[in-house]
Amino acid sequence: MDAAIVILNWNGRNFLEKFLPSLVATTPKDNFFLVVADNGSTDDSCQWLKANYPNIQLIEFDQNYGFTGGYNRAFKQIDADYYILLNSDIELTPGWCQTLIDFMEDNPDVGICQPKVLSYSNKDHFEYAGASGGFIDSFGYPFCRGRILKNLEKDSGQYDEPMEVFWATGACMAVQSSLYHHLGGLDDHFFAHMEEIDFCWRAKLLGFQVWVVPQSVVYHVGGGCLPNNSPRKLYLNFRNNLLMLYKNLPGNIRWQTIFVRQVLD
């Protein structure tokens, strides 16, 4: 068994400088290796990485291919049994990656899993992106255990049992590499946002399970590439949610759900 932990970077030297030490410190030397795929950064991310972490594999792209295109291109160049997609703005804790992979090794029907995601700035509360596993409601709106709308719950151990969920956060997501390639990777039409929900949905349609493994804990800053009030982020979230519903809902309820969403949105 081997696993590649892959950070997709875009102009994120500040995050690399802040959080790579915790990643290096918590990554087992056996069976795990680190990769940074750079999405055409215009800061000095690549130069800094080469100077300070020469043992981390660096893949450089000529432009920003987005979250989907960047990871898809990176994974064509990476040979491993498991991939862990990891945002650059995450602080890791001891055992986080081994716990995820051990769970998947013990449960081969689990194609995708995520850790418990807590807030970096408020560490006893859940973080918005993924929290303790995601679901979607009957209208196709995503939600997570650990947050109600924009209100984040305090982590008091209420979600500490591993559980099957509908989707895992792309901020920190482990996936069987064979499943990733069988699905054709993330959908490039999404560019960024909602792509992990679509990916998990497609995996579930193939019979794979998606789980949250709360014994693995990470702390996420969030909003590292696009701030929450970004018009582009708002556009991508609305557009990609509708695209996801169109792709994955059965035909007998697809248009009805999309029509209701057009009214509600």
Length of the chain: 265
Secondary structure, 3-state, the chain: CCEEEEEEECCCHHHHHHHHHHHHHHCCCCCEEEEEEECCCCCCHHHHHHHHCCCCEEEECCCCCHHHHHHHHHHCCCCCCEEEEECCCEEECCCHHHHHHHHHHHCCCEEEEEEEEEECCCCCEECCCCCCCEEECCCCCEEECCEECCEECECCCCCCCCEEECECCCCEEEEEHHHHHHCCCCCHHHCCCCHHHHHHHHHHHCCCEEEEEEEEEEEECCCCCCCCCCHHHHHHHHHHHHHHHHHHCCHHHHHHHHHHHHHHC
Q: Is this prediction's pTM over 0.75? A: yes
Would you state the pLDDT for residue 228? 59
Cα first-last separation, the chain: 45
Q: Burial of 164 by CB count in 10 Å (0-12 exposed, 13-18 middle, 19+ buried)?
A: middle
Would you state the pLDDT for residue 169? 97
Structure tokens at 22: 């915790």
Would you state the pLDDT for residue 221? 96
Distance between CA atoms of 169 and 261, rounded to whole angstroms?
A: 23
Q: Which residues of the chain have pLDDT under 70?
A: 223-229
CATH of domain 3-224: 3.90.550.10
- Is the separation of the CB atoms in 23 and 34 below 8 Å? yes
Would you state the pLDDT for residue 261? 80
Structure tokens at 145: 């255990």
Tell me how far CA of residue 139 lies from CA of 53, 123, 197, 212, 264, in angstroms: 46, 32, 14, 23, 9
Would you state the pLDDT for residue 101? 99
Q: Where are the domains of the chain?
A: 3-224
Structure tokens at 245: 């519903």
- Is the separation of the CB atoms in 201 and 250 below 8 Å? no
Would you state the pLDDT for residue 179? 99
- Tens digit of each residue's pLDDT (9 = 90 or more) over 11-33: 999 999 999 999 999 999 999 99
Distance between CA atoms of 248 and 142, rounded to whole angstroms?
A: 14
- Is the separation of the CB atoms in 262 and 250 below 8 Å? no
Would you state the pLDDT for residue 225? 54
Would you state the pLDDT for residue 224? 55
